[in-house]
Structure 1
Amino acid sequence: MSQTDPTDASDTTGPRTFEELVAEAEAAPTEGWDFSWFEGRATEQRPSWGYARAMAERLAHTDAALDIQTGGGEVLASAPELPRLTAATEGWPPNVARATALLHPRGAVVVASPQDAPLPFGDGAFGLVTSRHPVTPHWTEIARVLRPGGTYFAQHVGPASAFEVVEYFLGSKSEDHRNHRHPDRERAGAEAAGLEVVDLRAERLRMEFLDVGAVVHFLRKVVWMVPDFTVARYRDRLLRLHEQITAEGPFVAHSSRHLIEACKPGPRP
């Protein structure tokens, strides 16, 4: 999503109808983690730590790196320099194809691997493992493929992220569900796998959806938010949301992010 709050300069014919906004959002492709479609339609603050830049700095100082659940490979490909041995995993076939096209010219291999499956690499294969917004971090597998002294460096989605959107469609969630991705739980998971957490920072960040089409595209792209989402199923709720945004302004939510860096004990590789 855009980091600013731009207006839609392309709109020269007055307010667009609910039907037009929804039809456009339903037709938009959802492959990869390219969020440029949201330009002028939604905004989201970015965490202060600058994950992509910090990831690139670490990639420049290892000879073997793995990016887990790489999506379309866009974040990994943003690094100016990739290690001599760079691999990425991804489970969704359209994203595998997109990441392959983007990363193969950079010398990186993309391995099709379901996100719940064991990592398809040997023990101690990598000096650095990275991930941006993994669905679930499988700590024992991460620890297994790291060399002694190696590092896991990632940005995770935190607890109750964008739950204003989730609960608008699904109703209130339990506290346990809201805290499912709490950083304290992830620290405990990493430590249970034998990793030492050396940095853990969390931020909650403002999101704005400027029209109902942005909400539709968001839920089509981030499918785990409202798993049964279709426009037909939630048409009445979407229409009420369109009327709310038209009358009151942007629909505001808050994303939750945390940065985690964890090391495997041993001499640095």
Structure 2
Amino acid sequence: MIRDNQFLSYLNDVNKEFSGWDFSFITGTGRMRSGLLSWSYGSMARHLIQNVDSMLDMGTGGGEFLSMLRPFPRSVYATEGYKPNFEIAKENLEPLGIKVVQLEEDSELPFNDNQFELILNQHESYSSEEIRRTIQKNGVFLTQQVGGLDCKEINESFAVSLNLEFENWNLKTALQELKKNNFEVLYRNEEFPIQRFYDVGALVYYLKAIPWQVPDFSIEKYEESLYDIHKHIQSKGFYDVKQHRFIIKAKAI
């Protein structure tokens, strides 16, 4: 089937380099926009950091977010499980005095019992039991999570099922696990803001960066679906999907 040159040009964005957890190639140019949440994880995290002597940032990516939350407590650790991001995080964070640890399993954190006053976790998996083991009594766990229904419209467009392992990952489930492990919930919320793509190139770049959304994604396999989305954007001006986000602030008791 003959494709227009604009569409073919956009498909080349799948080859653009992605590193750390930096989407500025598509967000900084306004090619992808995300709807506003009624909370700010960053504002909450920054305030909490100012009142502790020890903290852990789980799933720090390339350390870009954490590095902007200075000044830091006396003792700061960060974990990252993805090898390419781990090297970037070390380069970005170790000069700031942060110890970066490569994490193998969420169920076995390489830290002492009651080591941290504060544990931050943005979009990283975790074990509630291990969080409770490594956090001090009255310590605070702050996490913003990507829910199991995140961007399900993308999967519908590609006729690909959501990951069944995470489909039921939501605020209710997370709260149950934390309460079972002796946490008192101080704040919670769950929302479904719009994520908008203004061209199909931004979408292919996004899907390459987060391979778990469509695990077998390739241009060749899904070219027909991508072209349908491209035509939709040409007609309507954008392609919308719903994000799934929830946040919990909890105190160890």
TM-score (norm 2): 0.92
Query: Deviations 1:220-260 (Å, cap 9, x if unpaired)?
Result: 11121111112222122112211221122201111121110
Once the two structures are superposed, what CA deviation does each residue of 1:121-161 show, in whole Å capped at 9, x if it has no partner? 11111000001111x22111111100111110111112411
Shift of residue 16 of structure 1?
6.2
In the other structure, the counterpart of 1:255 is: 243
Find the aligned partners of 1:232 and 1:257 in 2 and give their Cα distance. Answer: 31
Structure 2 residue 131 is the aligned partner of structure 1 residue 146: no
Partner of residue 65, structure 2: 75
**Which residues of 2 match residues 127-142 of structure 1 at below 5 A?**
127-134=117-124, 136-142=125-131
Give the AA of the match of 1:108: I
- Superposed CA RMSD: 1.9
**Equivalent residue for 1:232, pick from 200, 203, 220:** 220
Distance 2:43 2:71 in 1: 11
> Per-residue deviation at 1:213?
0.7
Counterpart in the other structure of 2:175: 187
The alignment of Structure 1 onto Structure 2 pairs a total of residues equal to 248
Matched residue, 1:17? 6
Equivalent residue for 1:205?
193
Find the aligned partners of 1:16 and 1:47 in 2 and give their Cα distance: 37
**Equivalent position amino acid for 1:185 in 2:** T
Classify the secondary structure of the residue corresponding to 1:225: coil
The structure 1 segments of at least 4 consecutive aligned residues displaced by more than 4 Å after TM superposition are 171-174, 176-179
Distance change >3 Å, CA 72–CA 115, structure 1 → 2: farther
Q: What is residue 114 of structure 1 aligned with on the other side?
A: 104
Task: Give the SS at the match of 2:109.
Answer: coil
Alignment partners' CA distance in 2, 1:45 and 1:244: 20
List alignment gaps of at least 5 residues for structure 2. none
Distance 2:166 2:149 in 1: 5
| 2:208 corresponds to | 220
Identical aligned residues as a percent: 31
TM-score scaled by structure 1?
0.86
**CA 1:143–1:254 in 2, change beyond 3 Å: closer, same or farther?**
same
CA distance change for structure 1 residues 76 and 104 in 2, over 3 Å: closer, same or farther? Answer: same
Quote the residue 2:90 is aligned against.
100
More deviation in 181-190 or 165-174? 165-174
> Is the counterpart of residue 126 in structure 1 residue 116 in structure 2?
yes
Does 2:47 match 1:57?
A: yes
Give the secondary-structure state (helix, strand or coil) at the position aligned to 1:121: coil
**Offset, 1:179:** 4.7
- Structure 2 CA distance for aligned equivalents of residues 170 and 131 of structure 1: 31
Structure 2 Cα separation of the partners of residues 102 and 118 of structure 1: 25
